[in-house]
Chains A and B, each alone.
Chain A
Amino acid sequence: MSAFKGALTDIAQGWKYRSFWQLLAWNDLKQRFRRSWIGVGWIMLAFILFLGSKLVIFSFMASSTFTVFAVYLTIGFAAWRFIMGAVIEGTNTFVSSENWIKGEPLPMSVHVYRSVYRNLLLALGTIPPVMVACWYFGTSNPQIWISIPFVLVAYLLSAFWISIVLGSLCSRYRDFSHLILTTMQIMFFLTPIIWEVGMLGAKAKYVKFNPFVYYLDIVRIPMLEARIPWSSWMIVGIFTAIGLTAAIITFSFTRRRIVFWL
């Protein structure tokens, strides 16, 4: 029980270091684009280039009209980038913070916040193109604006528990980071992002077993159908609750051990 309390205290303590991990995360981004002329602008540029080429290729196969598909793809792809980033960077949460973990007695959650915040900054780079696309293809309704803050909270909480669970697991058993990277690449094709569920025919019934679909629904459906998908929200809520519980249990066990695994 005290280990459990220790984990919660750690998470609360780590929040107090926010100016520290915010700067670290920002430095991480700058470092990633160091010595490039466009710098962090690459986040946006890469997104636009990917999106543009996918739009050209896959819109011919889509069953819906071009404008609807454009919005569908833009939002789905932006959301997927965040999810993918959260999962893949989550596996490296502690491994990539090794020199701080071994050098300073910081709350372990500082490194989790750093990773999540870095993902948020990366996601912010994709928001302007998404907004331009939505404005240009003419989708704007109140359901979007109500949804956005809640979607953001759900995504950040998910990134948080994923970073703790996968970060711990992958620092102890390094095979998992390779496995998860491969799995996520496969999931990109198994998740309706570049294709629509309608294209699957009889096999469409299997899509509901893919958890990522619900995370995409909560942002995509308000945009495309101007309604709030309550059932998807419920599933996301349940996943988040289970995930956070799993994270706190994991964290109370791994928090003091991670340093030995690096």
Chain B
Amino acid sequence: MARIIGKNISLVYPMVGSNQRGRHKVAIEKGKVGSVGGKIITTGNSHRGVLALDGLNIDLKPGARFGILGSNGSGKSTLLRVLGGIYKPTGGDLNVTGRVTGMFNLNLGVSKEATGYQNIILKGLMLGLSRKKIDEHAAEIAEFSELGEYINMPVHTYSSGMVMRLMFSTATSFKPEILLLDEWIGTGDRNFRDKVDKRLNDLMEEALIVVIASHNRNRMSKWANTYIELKAGRGVQKDISVLRGEVEMERQEEIAKRKAAQ
């Protein structure tokens, strides 16, 4: 049974090699805080780390469509990677039950020099499947992704949309119990986007947990059933009705503003 329980999760990125030597720096007024990124932890003049996630509580049951919202550098992708087991939280407890598949970035977890087919084999072997079983999946993946002859060509010849098709088709073909997506998944063409939505719905019927990190509140309010909105690594998990209410109110305000302008 898929389940994610996180208690008081925190993550501090250690800063390695971020202190630039020399004077090629933009002077920032003392005490001025930017609107992006987590809190930078400093000792004296040198950077020590970034507090990317700060005391998050998360509880996801089978059937959860969990949205991670927030602006640039708010910790969305970091949280996604923590849930995916890439980063171990530096504080708190995280318990993830179920097989996790994550798509964090088009450049990660894929061999660019290998062909699409070889990458499917790699993913299959990673799951401990036999070559015969993998070949069955490969046929299905080639079909779903509509990559055609490109499936036998090196991934570096693909456009980013094609890489996305390959990765999404592969990830979902192997039936993960927990699926983690970074927002790029929505950027395919219309026709493929519909297929993506349909496949996600199919997977949801098998009581899977899907997590999507995005900045798009409007779209999230329609898709998710629970969400967290991060701000400098902080936030509280809420029911989607809260977000729907907020989005609706913003829409009303927008309409009112437009009326007033007329």
A residues in contact with B47, CB < 8 Å: none
Is there contact, CB below 8 Å, between B86 and A102? yes
Closest A residue to B83 by CB, please name it. Answer: A105
B residues in contact with A102, CB < 8 Å: 81, 86, 104-105, 108-109
**B98 CB–A CB distance under 8 Å:** no
Q: How many A-B residue pairs have CB under 8 A?
A: 62
Q: Do A100 and B109 form a contact, CB below 8 Å, given A105-B100, A257-B14, A260-B14?
A: yes
**A149 CB–B CB distance under 8 Å:** no
A102 to B111, CA, bound (A): 13
A residues in contact with B126, CB < 8 Å: 17, 20, 104, 106
Closest B residue to A19 by CB, please name it. Answer: B125
A residues in contact with B107, CB < 8 Å: 99
A100 to B105, CA, bound (A): 11
What does the 1/0 interface line of A11-35 toward B look like (CB < 8 Å)?
A: 0000011011001100100010010
A residues in contact with B85, CB < 8 Å: 105
A34 to B111, CA, bound (A): 14
**B48 CB–A CB distance under 8 Å:** no
A interface, how many residues as a size bin? 20 to 34
Contact of A20 among B13, B87, B100, B122 (CB under 8 A): B122
**B16 CB–A CB distance under 8 Å:** yes
Is there contact, CB below 8 Å, between A103 and B113? no
What does the 1/0 interface line of B79-116 toward A look like (CB < 8 Å)?
A: 00100111110000000000010101101111101100
**B118 CB–A CB distance under 8 Å:** yes
Max chain B Cβ within 10 angstroms of own Cβ: one of A104, A106, A261: A104
Closest B residue to A100 by CB, please name it. Answer: B109
Is there contact, CB below 8 Å, between B13 and A103? no
Is there contact, CB below 8 Å, between B113 and A31? yes
A residues in contact with B111, CB < 8 Å: 24, 27
Is there contact, CB below 8 Å, between A105 and B113? no
Is there contact, CB below 8 Å, between A260 and B114? no
**A178 CB–B CB distance under 8 Å:** no
Contact of A23 among B84, B108, B121, B128 (CB under 8 A): B121
**A172 CB–B CB distance under 8 Å:** yes
B residues in contact with A172, CB < 8 Å: 16
**A62 CB–B CB distance under 8 Å:** no
A261 to B14, CA, bound (A): 8
A residues in contact with B84, CB < 8 Å: 105
29 CB contacts below 8 A, A to B, read A17-B125, A17-B126, A19-B125, A20-B122, A23-B118, A23-B122, A23-B125, A24-B111, A24-B122, A27-B111, A27-B113, A27-B114, A31-B113, A99-B107, A99-B108, A100-B108, A102-B81, A102-B109, A103-B105, A103-B108, A103-B109, A104-B109, A105-B84, A105-B100, A106-B126, A174-B17, A259-B86, A259-B87, A260-B16
Task: Report B's interface with A, CB cutoff 8 A.
Answer: 13-14, 16-17, 81, 84-88, 100, 102, 104-105, 107-111, 113-114, 118, 121-122, 125-126, 128
In the complex, the 5 A-B pairs of residues with the closest C-beta atoms, listed nearest first: A103-B109, A103-B108, A105-B85, A20-B125, A256-B88
